[in-house]
Amino acid sequence: MIAGSDEEEVAATLRAVLVDVLGLSETRVAAFDESTPLFGALPEFDSMAVAGLLTELEERLGIVIEDHEVDADMMETFGALLTFARNKSLQ
Protein backbone atom coordinates (compact mmCIF):
# COMPACT_ATOMS: atom_id res chain seq x y z
CA MET A 1 0.00 0.00 0.00
CA ILE A 2 2.85 2.33 0.85
CA ALA A 3 4.45 1.62 -2.50
CA GLY A 4 1.11 2.45 -4.14
CA SER A 5 0.87 5.86 -2.51
CA ASP A 6 4.51 6.59 -3.42
CA GLU A 7 3.68 5.76 -7.01
CA GLU A 8 0.78 8.18 -6.88
CA GLU A 9 3.07 10.85 -5.45
CA VAL A 10 5.53 10.44 -8.33
CA ALA A 11 2.64 10.74 -10.80
CA ALA A 12 1.39 13.91 -9.06
CA THR A 13 4.91 15.39 -9.10
CA LEU A 14 5.32 14.60 -12.78
CA ARG A 15 1.99 16.25 -13.62
CA ALA A 16 2.98 19.35 -11.58
CA VAL A 17 6.31 19.58 -13.43
CA LEU A 18 4.56 19.30 -16.80
CA VAL A 19 2.18 22.12 -15.79
CA ASP A 20 5.06 24.33 -14.66
CA VAL A 21 7.51 23.60 -17.46
CA LEU A 22 5.16 23.38 -20.43
CA GLY A 23 2.74 26.02 -19.18
CA LEU A 24 -0.23 23.69 -19.75
CA SER A 25 -3.43 23.94 -17.71
CA GLU A 26 -3.81 21.64 -14.72
CA THR A 27 -7.08 20.38 -16.15
CA ARG A 28 -5.40 19.35 -19.37
CA VAL A 29 -2.49 17.61 -17.65
CA ALA A 30 -4.83 15.87 -15.19
CA ALA A 31 -6.47 14.21 -18.21
CA PHE A 32 -3.15 12.76 -19.46
CA ASP A 33 -3.10 8.95 -19.42
CA GLU A 34 -0.36 6.43 -20.10
CA SER A 35 -0.78 6.67 -23.85
CA THR A 36 -0.90 10.48 -24.14
CA PRO A 37 1.91 11.46 -26.57
CA LEU A 38 4.33 14.11 -25.27
CA PHE A 39 7.69 14.72 -26.96
CA GLY A 40 7.15 15.40 -30.64
CA ALA A 41 3.40 15.79 -30.13
CA LEU A 42 3.18 18.94 -27.98
CA PRO A 43 4.58 22.15 -29.50
CA GLU A 44 5.39 23.34 -25.96
CA PHE A 45 7.71 20.37 -25.46
CA ASP A 46 10.79 21.80 -27.20
CA SER A 47 14.47 21.20 -26.52
CA MET A 48 14.70 23.75 -23.70
CA ALA A 49 11.59 22.22 -22.14
CA VAL A 50 13.43 18.89 -22.04
CA ALA A 51 16.20 20.53 -20.03
CA GLY A 52 13.72 22.19 -17.68
CA LEU A 53 11.74 19.00 -17.24
CA LEU A 54 14.80 16.94 -16.32
CA THR A 55 16.14 19.55 -13.92
CA GLU A 56 12.77 20.01 -12.18
CA LEU A 57 12.25 16.24 -11.87
CA GLU A 58 15.70 15.90 -10.30
CA GLU A 59 15.01 18.66 -7.79
CA ARG A 60 11.50 17.61 -6.82
CA LEU A 61 12.05 13.85 -6.75
CA GLY A 62 15.57 14.02 -5.32
CA ILE A 63 17.02 11.95 -8.16
CA VAL A 64 19.97 12.27 -10.55
CA ILE A 65 19.30 11.69 -14.24
CA GLU A 66 22.34 10.80 -16.34
CA ASP A 67 22.51 12.14 -19.87
CA HIS A 68 22.78 8.64 -21.34
CA GLU A 69 19.40 7.78 -19.82
CA VAL A 70 17.70 10.52 -21.81
CA ASP A 71 16.28 9.81 -25.24
CA ALA A 72 13.14 10.50 -27.23
CA ASP A 73 11.60 7.14 -26.25
CA MET A 74 11.48 7.88 -22.50
CA MET A 75 9.63 11.12 -23.22
CA GLU A 76 7.42 9.82 -26.01
CA THR A 77 4.31 9.31 -23.87
CA PHE A 78 3.13 10.27 -20.41
CA GLY A 79 3.28 6.56 -19.48
CA ALA A 80 6.91 6.18 -20.62
CA LEU A 81 7.97 9.27 -18.68
CA LEU A 82 6.06 8.15 -15.60
CA THR A 83 7.67 4.72 -15.73
CA PHE A 84 11.10 6.34 -15.98
CA ALA A 85 10.41 8.68 -13.05
CA ARG A 86 9.06 5.84 -10.90
CA ASN A 87 12.02 3.59 -11.67
CA LYS A 88 14.45 6.37 -10.76
CA SER A 89 12.77 7.51 -7.57
CA LEU A 90 11.37 4.27 -6.15
CA GLN A 91 14.24 1.91 -6.93
Footprint of another protein on this chain (CB under 8 A)? 20-23, 39, 44-52, 54-56, 59, 67, 70-72
CA distances from 4 to 23, 66, 75 (A): 28, 26, 23
Burial class (CB in 10 A: 0-12, 13-18, 19+), 60: middle
7/20 with CB nearer another protein: 20
Distance in Å, CB of 52 to another protein, minimum: 4
Look at residue 76 and give its three-state secondary structure: coil
1/57 with CB nearer another protein: 57
Distance in Å, CB of 58 to another protein, minimum: 10
2/48 with CB nearer another protein: 48
